[in-house]
Amino acid sequence: MTIEEDVVQLLLEHNVLELFAHSINITDDKRLVEILVGILGNMCNFKSARDSLIENTTLVQTLLDLTNCSDSLTLLQLTRLFSVVLIHADREIALRWYRHICLYPDFAKI
């Protein structure tokens, strides 16, 4: 259902990004995290979701934290999410993602 724009808009209106960030942070259930990141990946096919995501620094930080997880299925969904977001990013949004990534010391070792 999260590949339908009307559904995505409804979810955004009900603060689903905050709910997902909180749920990912408090759960130990790897499959739940995988599912939530996958839903975010689906939602980010729409500009409104991508714009809302980059504005939600808590969720961006949570997603960057997940790059250190050892669950391959979660990493697959996370890679898909980042791909969708960055492929559709204009210069300004790509720069904002770059700044977030640079602030996160464990994302990439230089």
Q: Is residue 17 part of a domain?
A: yes
pLDDT in tens, 51-84: 999 999 999 999 999 998 999 999 999 999 999 9
Domain that holds residue 10: 5-103
Mean pLDDT over each residue of the chain, to the nearest integer: 93
Q: Is residue 110 part of a domain?
A: no
Q: Is residue 109 part of a domain?
A: no
Q: What's residue 1's pLDDT? A: 80
Query: Which has the closest alpha carbon to 53: 37, 39, 40?
Result: 40
Q: How far apart are CA 41 and CA 50, in angstroms?
A: 9
Q: Is residue 108 part of a domain?
A: no
Q: Is residue 94 part of a domain?
A: yes
pLDDT band with cut points at 50, 70 and 90 for residue 109: low
Q: Is residue 77 part of a domain?
A: yes
Total tally of structural domains belonging to the chain: 1
